[in-house]
Amino acid sequence: MRVLVTGGGGYIGSVAVECLLGAGYDVVVLDNFWRGHQPAVPTGVEKVDCDLRDRDHTIRAVKEAWVDAVLHFAAATLVGESVVQPAEYFEINVVGSHNLLVAMRDAGVSKLVFSSTAAVYGMPETLPITETAPTVPINPYGRSKLMVEQMLEWHAGAYGLRYACPRYFNVAGATEQHGEDHEPETHVIPVALQVLLGKRPHFSVFGTDYPTPDGTAIRDYVHVVDLAEAHILALKRLDETLGPINLGTRDGFSVRQIVAAVERVTRRDLPVEYGPRREGDPPALVADSSKAHRLLGWTPTRSTMDEMVGSAWRWFQAHPHGYQDDGQS
Ligand SMILES: NC(=O)c1ccc[n+]([C@@H]2O[C@H](COP(=O)([O-])OP(=O)(O)OC[C@H]3O[C@@H](n4cnc5c(N)ncnc54)[C@H](O)[C@@H]3O)[C@@H](O)[C@H]2O)c1
């Protein structure tokens, strides 16, 4: 099977490419490398430098790629940025996905796995969150992802698209070749490790008075390789539409637990500054992933905090300047 990976120069997309190649798939990467990295695409993998907002180019690129399926990771992904630049988020995430869907329809490609997010749930009332929980996004990023999910439903009905939209909670960890190199970095684990690399003065904890066992917020983390494997399992099941699928472990980790894991794994002290809660941050977000288990047979095997921190730390030590260390990024 030949698969087009949009956003294959980014964090999760590059790991998905690595796992697809390992599983024997033929891969084509489509990315405009706005926030991705050319060296993240392995030598020998076909690479199309294309902006999904460019409809004609996207239609041409998908047609010429001759693929059987698409994994669609490309997106603008920062919640805070989406609040100050909503137009860009709707353009990249919604218009870009619309162009991709039109291109797939025209090229006769009917299988799609679309990266969605827990942000579609907004502030959930019950935990763990199931796929049937109300979707009430509280920022343009989450809204843009939900809009795409809704577009997929109609494309399935009218054009025979078969799709899955895994909803990720928090993704962490690395492989030997691929890790997290975001600019700006907003994710908790790489931010903590950047403190240890001397790139930030301290690690900020926002809120110590949440109604959680240690007072800090709890989030659900999945190792990026476990996540990529869920996509491959979904690809194999796309003889029918699978719809939204939560990817999490249900056992969240608190910020203090992450700090402890970082110190334990790296054997260093992490300078921490404690501050007030941030507006819009719920105390806990954890997923019910029984649908992923039931439909895909997915069971995360690497998603312990020590494994996620340890693999990320090894990648950061080998790539202190990110992909710049591997050539032009
Ligand atoms: N990282 C997480 O914890 C997380 C959580 C939930 C959902 N997601 C979703 O997973 C996907 C991948 O996230 P990531 O962390 O790897 O992000 P990333 O920023 O590392 O990768 C996104 C990639 O998309 C490319 N891209 C952006 N706009 C494009 C465009 N117009 N045309 C072509 N390519 C474009 C970027 O250059 C980049 O390579 C995203 O859709 C994101 O919304 C990520």
User: What is the C-alpha separation between 73 and 77, in angstroms, rounded?
Assistant: 10
Indicate whether 115 pLDDT > 70: yes
Ligand 1 atom nearest 181 alpha carbon: 20
* Both tokens assigned to 58: 């996207």
- Residue 54 — very low, low, confident or very high, per pLDDT cuts 50/70/90? very high
Threshold 0.75, pTM exceeds: yes
CA of 294 to the centre of ligand 1 (A): 27
Ligand 1 atom nearest 187 alpha carbon: 3
Domain 2-174+221-248 indexed as CATH 3.40.50.720? yes
Q: How far apart are the first and last CA of the chain?
A: 29
CA nearest to 205, candidates 121, 286, 276, 269: 276
Residue nearest to atom 42 of ligand 1 (CA): 77
Write the pLDDT tens digit of every residue in 58-78.
999 999 999 999 999 999 999
Task: Please tell me if the CB atom of residue 323 comes closer than 6 angstroms to any atom of ligand 1.
Answer: no
Q: What is the mean pLDDT of the chain?
A: 96
The four Cα atoms 112, 117, 119, 125 give a dihedral, to 10 degrees, of: 100
**pLDDT on residue 251:** 85
Domains of the chain, by residue range, sit at 2-174+221-248
- Residue 196 — very low, low, confident or very high, per pLDDT cuts 50/70/90? very high
- Is 323 an annotated catalytic residue? no
In this prediction, residues 95-115 reach a mean pLDDT of: 98
CA nearest to 276, candidates 204, 211, 206, 215: 206
Task: Please tell me if the CB atom of residue 12 comes closer than 6 angstroms to any atom of ligand 1.
Answer: yes
Angle among Cα 72, 161, 52 to the nearest 5 degrees reads 35
Indicate whether 328 pLDDT > 60: no
Residue nearest to atom 20 of ligand 1 (CA): 10
Sign of CA dihedral 57, 33, 184, 211: positive
Residue nearest to atom 28 of ligand 1 (CA): 75
**pLDDT on residue 327:** 62
**pLDDT on residue 123:** 94
In this prediction, residues 142-150 reach a mean pLDDT of: 98
Write the pLDDT tens digit of every residue in 154-174.
999 999 999 999 999 999 999
- Residue 176 — very low, low, confident or very high, per pLDDT cuts 50/70/90? very high
Write the pLDDT tens digit of every residue in 269-317.
999 999 999 988 999 999 999 999 999 999 999 999 999 999 999 999 9
**pLDDT on residue 324:** 85
Ligand 1 atom nearest 116 alpha carbon: 7
User: What is the C-alpha separation between 179 and 230, in angstroms, rounded?
Assistant: 18
Task: Please tell me if the CB atom of residue 10 comes closer than 6 angstroms to any atom of ligand 1.
Answer: yes
Task: Please tell me if the CB atom of residue 13 comes closer than 6 angstroms to any atom of ligand 1.
Answer: yes
Indicate whether 92 pLDDT > 90: yes
- Residue 243 — very low, low, confident or very high, per pLDDT cuts 50/70/90? very high
Indicate whether 153 pLDDT > 70: yes
